């Protein structure tokens, strides 16, 4: 389906995707732009992604503020991060099969870009930005609430946890052990889609944590999470940021 988007979405594709999104676009060009990856054209979805990201963070923050009066600012921030990170967004995108509609360049198509978390997450944010421009804030807020309905319903069951680096540091300090040291072991990929491989070491501990992510900071979090798991403190966890 994605290959047919270049010249504008076919009417049947607009109708199918609109049903999944719960929004009928007045200007279909906005939807087409939201689905166009930068590998295709300079007229792509990056600006819409920026807009959608800001609206998403605000709407989720407002929902958490009202739904979780028991949480303080730090826990609210961590819970919001868990709801809007790359993995969570990609999961929602897959639930509406958004990857079927993303227009990608030849290289991204060959590498399975329509299944990649980063592309799915960015595209979903771009769609939110497009809905905001097409129908205003209320329309975009309604869509976010629909897409996140199950996540919001499950909030009472969720425990907001401190991030892995903080948990590891507190664990080490409580045992008077040296603080961890993080090292970037490898940087791979093109400039705009680099993957950082990071190791986490503690001077008196032989175990080494390792993790990879799209930024150095996220790589450090992944490495800390891996070391916590190897120490038997945590279940495996993936922490990612935008």
pLDDT at position 156: 56
Does the annotation count 53 as an active-site position?
yes
* Mean pLDDT of all residues belonging to the chain: 86
- Residue 78 and residue 102 share a domain: yes
49 marked ligand binding residue: yes
Q: Domain range spanning residue 222?
A: 164-230
Give the integer Cα–Cα distance in Å for 17 and 222.
34
Domain-embedded: residue 226? yes
Sheet with 208-213, edge to edge strand ranges? 181-188, 195-201, 208-213
For 164-200, the pLDDT digits (tens) are: 999 899 999 999 999 999 999 999 988 778 899 999 9
pLDDT at position 42: 86
Domain-embedded: residue 205? yes
- Residue 213 and residue 152 share a domain: no
125 marked ligand binding residue: yes
Q: How many helices (H) and strands (E) does the chain have?
A: 11, 3
Domain-embedded: residue 36? yes
pLDDT at position 3: 38
The percent of residues in the chain predicted with pLDDT above 90, rounded, is: 55
- Residue 104 and residue 140 share a domain: yes
pLDDT at position 242: 41
- Residue 149 and residue 217 share a domain: no
Tokens, residue 9: 């979405």
pLDDT at 239 over 60: no
Secondary structure (3-state) at 207: coil
Residues 53, 163, 226, 234: which is the catalytic one? Answer: 53
Single out the residue in 126, 157, 188 at which a domain terminates: 157
The percent of residues in the chain predicted with pLDDT above 70, rounded, is: 88
Domain-embedded: residue 7? yes
- Residue 205 and residue 110 share a domain: no
Higher pLDDT, 58 or 242: 58
- Residue 142 and residue 220 share a domain: no
| Rounded average pLDDT over 218-232 | 92
- Residue 38 and residue 146 share a domain: yes
- Residue 169 and residue 129 share a domain: no
Domain-embedded: residue 240? no
For 86-136, the pLDDT digits (tens) are: 889 999 999 999 988 888 887 777 777 677 888 999 999 999 999 999 999
pLDDT at 7 over 50: no
Single out the residue in 123, 157, 191 at which a domain terminates: 157
| Number of separate domains in the chain | 2
pLDDT at 5 over 60: no
61: domain CATH number is: 1.10.1520.10
6 — pLDDT class (breaks 50, 70, 90)? very low
- Residue 197 and residue 112 share a domain: no
Q: Which residues contact 132 (CB under 8 A, 6 or more apart)?
A: 51, 52, 55, 139, 140
Higher pLDDT, 25 or 4: 25
- Residue 84 and residue 178 share a domain: no
111 burial type by CB count under 10 A (0-12 exposed, 13-18 middle, 19+ buried): exposed
Yes or no: say if 142 and 132 are a contact pair by the CB < 8 Å rule.
no
pLDDT at position 104: 83
Give the integer Cα–Cα distance in Å for 73 and 33.
36
Helices 117-135 & 137-147 angle (0-180, nearest 10): 140
- Residue 142 and residue 56 share a domain: yes
Query: Residue length, the chain?
Result: 242
Single out the residue in 157, 188, 203 at which a domain terminates: 157
Domain-embedded: residue 239? no
Domain-embedded: residue 241? no
Residues 117, 125, 220, 239: which is the catalytic one? Answer: 125
Does the annotation count 181 as an active-site position?
no
Lowest mean pLDDT across 71-85, 100-114, 141-155, 204-218: 100-114
122 marked ligand binding residue: yes
215: domain CATH number is: 3.30.160.20
- Residue 173 and residue 149 share a domain: no
């Amino acid at each position: 389906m994605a290959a047919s988007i270049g010249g504008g979405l076919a009417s049947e594709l607009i109708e199918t995707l609109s049903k999944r999104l719960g929004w009928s676009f007045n200007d279909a060009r906005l939807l087409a732009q939201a689905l166009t990856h930068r590998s295709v054209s300079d007229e792509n979805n990056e600006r819409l992604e920026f807009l959608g990201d800001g609206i998403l963070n605000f709407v989720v923050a407002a929902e958490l503020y009202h739904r979780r009066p028991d949480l303080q600012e730090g826990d609210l921030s961590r819970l919001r991060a868990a709801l809007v990170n790359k993995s969570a967004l990609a999961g929602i995108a897959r639930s509406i099969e958004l990857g079927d509609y993303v227009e990608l360049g030849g290289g991204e198509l060959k590498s399975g870009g329509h299944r990649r978390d980063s592309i799915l997450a960015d595209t979903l944010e771009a769609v939110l930005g497009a809905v905001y421009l097409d129908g205003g804030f209320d329309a975009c807020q309604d869509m976010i609430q629909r897409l996140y309905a199950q996540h919001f319903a499950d909030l009472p069951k969720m425990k907001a946890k401190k991030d892995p680096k903080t948990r590891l540091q507190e664990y080490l300090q409580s045992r008077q052990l040296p603080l961890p040291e993080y090292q970037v072991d490898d940087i791979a990929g093109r400039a705009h889609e680099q993957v950082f491989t990071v190791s986490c070491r503690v001077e008196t501990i032989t175990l080494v944590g390792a993790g990879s992510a799209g930024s150095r900071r996220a790589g450090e979090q992944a490495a800390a999470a891996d070391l916590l798991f190897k120490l038997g403190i945590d279940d495996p966890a993936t922490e990612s940021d935008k």
